[in-house]
Structure 1
Amino acid sequence: MRPAGFLSPPPGQGLQRYLGQRVRWSDCGKGLRCAAVLAPLDYADPDGEAITLGLAKRPASAGPSAGSLFINPGGPGGSGTKYVDYFEVKGLERFDVVGWDPRGTGQSTPVKCANGAAMDVYTSVDVTPDDKAEEKALTQAQLDFGRGCLERSGALLEHISTTETVRDLDLLRHLVGDEKLSYFGSSYGTKIGALYAELYPATVGRMVLDGAVNITGKKDVSQLDGFERALGNFATWCAEQRCKLGSSKTEVERTIGDLLQRLDEKPINGGRAKLTQQLGLTGVLAVLYENEEGWKYLRQGLELAAFENDGRYLLYFADQYNDRSTNGTYGQLQFSFPAIRCLDSQDVSVSEAEKEGAEEAKRAPTLGPFAGADLVCPLWPVAPFPKEPTIRGAGAAPIVVIGTTGDPATPYEYAERMAKQLRSGHLLTLKGEGHLGYGQSACIQRYVQAYLLDGDVPADGTRC
């Protein structure tokens, strides 16, 4: 079966048939312009199947023109076309701000998997099984999910790697007529940018990478470490606010751990469904992405769940994180995220995943017992894409890497290491909480704008 979204390539031969396309922009509301172009499903076979790449841009509103600024919100699998609508453009009005949905996502030819009731089961399955029956249920859930993606998406699952997305990005740079790439990537978008600098260093213009991911291959600091650290910061704040969860950091953490343990044995009412341990954990992690402004909602949700057996807030947070709508359908990110991640991953061993999960759990005493081993990629039905090269970006123009000290999802160490590993990396630090720095800090924004517009590179180690 030929999955929806597969198309015939444009006229011509080889890659030139794609380089000769014209981008036809049209109004698509909210002051934005939208377009779609074609890219080869497989760059090794440019005369074979084609797929669609969807784009959106907010045209420059000031002069002189600074060209295009490509942006990516992360994920993997986040929608760049939607990112254009909420990306902070104040101070960057000279750019055409361009977002695209990477292959496999959103308005580009998308990965499709199960939906509705099947996803409700999948997102609530116990990832820390207590017996053989639960172990079997977890393994079967992962296998069923992956097979569903393969059945509905076919060969697309073999061609949504970050390497191929980087090739798409260079194609888009060419099609909009820019000699150099100006780029702002958030979270996983930093991997796209860093790998671009490795594969196309000569065409790097000005690049900002906010919330750096791990490009070193080292596993001594994990995302779970980042969330455990953020939870500890929340617990300290909560105790200082005299919340019901405890009068000290230790007491607050203990209350949260006890709640998650109870949910394993006896889920509580969450409104539309029971709040299971997995959904409760997801609800907590979802709000830890925020800074102190968001923590008050986590406090309220945890207090209601812990003392009144009311899980509605935490289930709402989990549904937001899982991109579940009120009608029971799930957003496409839930499918593109694991599909892209697992094609990039070289993790194919269940036993190794269980070993790593156990080691990570020891470093995260509050969240670790409930996080479980990451079995998604070891049980994925498609073999990994060839391993990426070591990323150094030799020969690239200066690259600004932003790290937030309390970032839960991309621990600050990742930014330190990315800035050091990139030959032209410069570290810009935000001392604060929450995921990503640019959107929450006027200080960071001033440095970024001065760099993108005027080439003023912040001194390595600058802090806000």
Structure 2
Amino acid sequence: MPHPHRIRATALTIAALLPVLLTGCARDPGLAHGGPLGQRLGWKDCPVPSVAQGDGGAPSPLPDGTRWQCATMKAPLNWDDPRSGTIDIALIRAKASGDPSRRIGSLVFNYGGPGESGVTALPSFGQDYAALRTRYDLVSFDPRGVGRSAGVKCLNDQQLDAFFQLDAMPRTAETQRVFLDSTKRFNQACRLHSGRVLPYLRTTDTARDLDLMRQLLGDRKLHYFGVSYGTELGGVYAHLFPRNVGRAVLDAVVDPTLTPEQAALAQAGGFQLAFGNYARDCVAKSAGCPVGSTPKDVENRLTGLLNDLDRKPLPGVSPRRLTRSAALDGVLEALYSKNSWPSLTEALRRAYAGDGRPLMLLGDSMNERDEKGRYSNDSAAEVAINCADDKPRYTTADVEAKLPRFRAASPLFGDFLAWNLISCAGWPMRGAVYHPDVHAPGAGPILLIGNTGDPATPYDGTRRMVNALGKGVGVELTYRGQGHGAYYSKNTCVRDTVNRYLLDGAVPATGTVCS
């Protein structure tokens, strides 16, 4: 079952060749003559997003009337053999609004997942970047395997409805067998429908796409803003192309030193911390907390609800019923942003009264299911990219052995995240490595932002990414707040610090704190 923003591992197979292949004067003849580097990006008005991208209407113009433009980039399917064929990479941009003589270049965004469509996400945040757009074209893309970029296909919508209602915390031999078999069927469906692209979805492949994109955008350096998994992609890019790194921001930083098991265990603790923060905030309200009288009471009542749902699911979004796993999806979704805490309170209040619909709608948001019952390809892409990156293949016996540590880290979420370790069971090819290499000697300063209350990418990972990048590269900024990421919290200190760095090159002192 897909899991929220799990930490990934990556591979490096031809790092020694890449600087020669893609930078400087020397170019591979197959790329330079009629290949990917011989192309021009044909920008035009954006079409309506596909269902795989998350659907919705065509992006609305920005407040100053600037229209979003879309283009398609050709990239090698297999970077180890660029002549073997290409795939399409979908791009979107809004051109810079300021004085052309002060334009820095393009600022490329990746919104994480992995599996998030940048073509759909960037317009939804467009107004937040008004200051940045004075000197940058805003650019994002669907990474390979996502949306319109050779999007991975696995199960259909009806099959996904059933899959997300499965018991993802099996406690008996029979429920374990059902969960394992269902996971394998999901993965076999990915192979059946998307087998051609599955071997080429590693984060290192997407990093190479980024450098090709940089060249086609006409930029000498890649200016980059990565969020969550996008920070891992940024770190891998810096490792492969350190001298091509421009001004780069990594927000909600992935810990690159952890194996998938260690990362899932850290997330268990992160979400438990976030739920405790939510519960304390709820009971501190002057009007009282409708889902508990104390923080412990809030947790105990949720535990009781989950146990009840295991025995008897509640009516949800008809005809589906709210199962224990579907309820946890909803809780996890709400913990990504403090702005969602009131929605979680109302959803829990309604669930305790017998109505599972609001909590299920939160879970649908997590799994990118729209009101018509259609899913984006986010969950398929997430599994495919994870399994291309991650070398470990965990068994049910492995999970059972690790459960005590996960339960100690999180009584609420430990089982759920531990059993997610088997998501690559039966995957048709091997994963790459245990964790990504982000060592980037020679790269310019990269600004990393860690949020002390981040559930999905716990704060300690920021310092470890700083250390892994190498001396003189990572610059750490701390935000004492809640939710996943910092820039989108709209904290003035964080926004001003990031904007000064990206617009003026003003590097803050490492260890700067915003609250």
TM-score calculated relative to the size of structure 1: 0.94
Aligned-partner Cα distance in 1 for 2:30–2:400:
44
Provide the residue aligned with 2:3 in structure 1: none
**Percent of matched pairs sharing the same residue:** 39
- CA shift at 1:388, angstroms? 6.2
Out of 360, 363, 367, the position equivalent to 1:318 is 363
Residues 405 and 412 in structure 1, CA contact (< 8 A), matched pair in contact too: yes
| Residues 1:256 and 2:297 are matched in the alignment | no
Out of 44, 56, 72, the position equivalent to 2:92 is 56
- CA shift at 1:387, angstroms? 5.8
Aligned-partner Cα distance in 2 for 1:158–1:454:
40
What amino acid is aligned across from residue 104 of structure 2 in structure 1? A
Distance 1:382 1:199, change over 3 A: same
- CA shift at 1:367, angstroms? 2.6
- CA shift at 1:332, angstroms? 1.2
- CA shift at 1:413, angstroms? 1.1
Partner SS, residue 30 of structure 2: coil
Residues 109 and 225 in structure 2, CA contact (< 8 A), matched pair in contact too: yes
Aligned-partner Cα distance in 2 for 1:254–1:369:
16
What amino acid is aligned across from residue 170 of structure 1 in structure 2? D
Out of 380, 383, 393, the position equivalent to 2:427 is 380
Structure 2 unmatched ranges of 5 or more? 1-27, 47-58, 62-66
Aligned-partner Cα distance in 2 for 1:442–1:147:
47
Residues 248 and 447 in structure 2, CA contact (< 8 A), matched pair in contact too: yes
- CA shift at 1:19, angstroms? 1.4
Out of 170, 189, 196, the position equivalent to 1:129 is 170
Provide the residue aligned with 2:103 in structure 1: 65
- For each residue in 1:387-414, what CA deviation from the matched residue of structure 2 results, as whole angstroms up to 9, or x when unmatched? 6663221111001001111111111111
Aligned-partner Cα distance in 1 for 2:256–2:165:
30
| Residues 1:18 and 2:18 are matched in the alignment | no
Aligned-partner Cα distance in 2 for 1:62–1:112:
41
Residues 143 and 149 in structure 2, CA contact (< 8 A), matched pair in contact too: yes
Superposed counterparts of 1:262-273, under 5 Å: 262-272=308-318, 273=320
Provide the residue aligned with 1:154 in structure 2: 195
* Equivalences, count: 451
Out of 434, 449, 460, the position equivalent to 2:499 is 449
Superposed counterparts of 1:270-309, under 5 Å: 270-272=316-318, 273-291=320-338, 293-306=339-352, 308-309=353-354
Partner SS, residue 253 of structure 2: coil
Distance 1:217 1:412, change over 3 A: same
Provide the residue aligned with 1:43 in structure 2: 79
Residues 258 and 435 in structure 2, CA contact (< 8 A), matched pair in contact too: no
Aligned-partner Cα distance in 2 for 1:357–1:52:
42
Residues 22 and 175 in structure 1, CA contact (< 8 A), matched pair in contact too: yes
Provide the residue aligned with 1:408 in structure 2: 455
Aligned-partner Cα distance in 1 for 2:211–2:140:
13
Distance 1:354 1:392, change over 3 A: farther
Provide the residue aligned with 1:3 in structure 2: none
What amino acid is aligned across from residue 366 of structure 1 in structure 2? L
| Residues 1:224 and 2:268 are matched in the alignment | yes
| Residues 1:76 and 2:92 are matched in the alignment | no
What amino acid is aligned across from residue 56 of structure 1 in structure 2? I
Partner SS, residue 145 of structure 2: coil
RMSD, aligned α-carbons: 1.6
TM-score calculated relative to the size of structure 2: 0.85
Residues 347 and 378 in structure 1, CA contact (< 8 A), matched pair in contact too: no
Provide the residue aligned with 1:436 in structure 2: 485
Aligned-partner Cα distance in 2 for 1:370–1:83:
27
Out of 374, 382, 394, the position equivalent to 1:349 is 394
- Worse overlay, 278-287 or 353-362: 353-362
Residues 268 and 276 in structure 1, CA contact (< 8 A), matched pair in contact too: yes
Partner SS, residue 155 of structure 1: coil
Structure 1 unmatched ranges of 5 or more? 1-11
Partner SS, residue 126 of structure 1: coil
| Structure with the larger RCO, 1 or 2 (CA within 8 Å, 6+ apart) | 2
- CA shift at 1:200, angstroms? 0.5
- Worse overlay, 153-162 or 14-23: 14-23
| Residues 1:363 and 2:409 are matched in the alignment | yes
Distance 1:271 1:205, change over 3 A: closer
Residues 260 and 370 in structure 1, CA contact (< 8 A), matched pair in contact too: no
- CA shift at 1:449, angstroms? 0.8
